[in-house]
Amino acid sequence: MKKSSLAILIAAVAGAGAVGWNMTHHSVEPAKPAGPGQQGPTTVAITAAKRQDVPVVLQANGTVTPISTVDLHAQITSTISRVHIKEGQFVKAGELMFTLDDRAARANVDKAQAQVVRDQAALADVERQYKRAQELFAQKFVAQSAIDTLKSQVDSARALLNADMAAARSTSVDASYNSIRAPMAGRVGAINVYPGSLVQVATSLTTITQLDPITVAFTLPESALATLLQAQRDGSVAVKATTGDGVQEVSGALSFIDNTVDPVAGVIRVKAQFANKETRLWPGQYVNTRLVAQVLKDAMVIPQNAIISNTRGTFVYTVDDEQKAKVVNIKRLYAFGESAAVSGLDGSEKIIVDGKQNLRPGGKVRIAAAAGGNGAAASAGAAASGAGSTPANDKQKG
């Protein structure tokens, strides 16, 4: 029994020694860490730049302003005799609007005219005397001094007649103040007086606002000033305005650019003039304006989501011939909708639009297959990369 136990113990020690010898003389090769070069390529979607004419559209909110508004006042103190218009009525230039009590004015006109008639009679009498005196002087019946005196009387009577004629005209002008007429065509506002109302110079009778044509005032950034001035020199600048709510746009033209830039807000005030026969625009109304300042001919257009801006500048990622990401610096000329006109591209680049957040310059890329017309280009790019995977596998790996 003791011999068998001793044999088991010797066998166990021999087995342990064999295991230790095996571990000492047989090493296992350690796993190599995965380096950057062994990372899979980044899956991206690409697009190509397009060349097209891009209109530079400036938009702003504006306010409808009349070209002119007149606040009517009487020029004399009198009483309203008759009101010839109604509130909200459209009037023509020269149309009679108010009549004041003109009885005193008519009496003054009659008096002035009578004075003129009297002066005319006095002048005629003195002229007849002067003519007879000249005949008598030719016959040596009167002295030269008598002729000179009569000549002075004729000149004095003629001067008096002229003065009274001027006074009569002045009286007629004063009388005309009793008839208040429209100084221009436009729409009548609220009427503040009625027949029998006593009006003075400070009394506002009503207002007339010109509605056709009409202007819209708005502001644009000062950066657009040079473009606006050049466009105005080249010809008329078309402006569109709409009040919203599905109302059809009205067309006009830029009519005014202010002579100073607001240094605080950094904007320039401008106005556009519109024909307004149908009164689509109303004074004080807020409208949306839109004008084309210039057209970028044959501009390079790319999606805005392909553009990256950071402290190093503005750039896009492109795919080079080795299927690596390449940085191309660009300049954004004008953004519109989901696209932007840029400079710095020649049109042959494969611009990365999706997947760029995981990219680094020089990193390997795999072009994902796209639906539609870009599928062939994407498949060709994937084949060139040597990835050998299907679009489904690409999506799984991406």
Tell me, what DSSP letter sits at residue 190? -
Q: Are 69 and 208 contacting, i.e. CB atoms less than 8 angstroms apart?
A: yes
Distances (CA, A) of 315 to 4, 293, 301, 321: 85, 26, 14, 19
pLDDT, residue 92, reads 94
Q: What is the pLDDT of residue 185?
A: 93
**pLDDT tens digits for range 324-350:** 889 999 999 988 889 999 999 988 889
114 within 8 A of 164, measured Cβ to Cβ? no
Which regions in the chain score pLDDT beneath 50?
A: 1-4, 6, 9, 13, 16, 18-37, 371-398
Which of 319, 296, 295, 297 shows the shortest CA–CA distance to 306?
Answer: 319
Alpha helices in 177-284 (DSSP H): 225-234
Q: What is the pLDDT of residue 387?
A: 36
Which residues does 48 contact at the CB level (< 8 Å), separation at least 6? 347, 349, 350, 351
Task: Compute CA distances 340 → 54, 223, 315, 380, whole Å.
Answer: 9, 18, 13, 27
Name the residue type at position 21. W
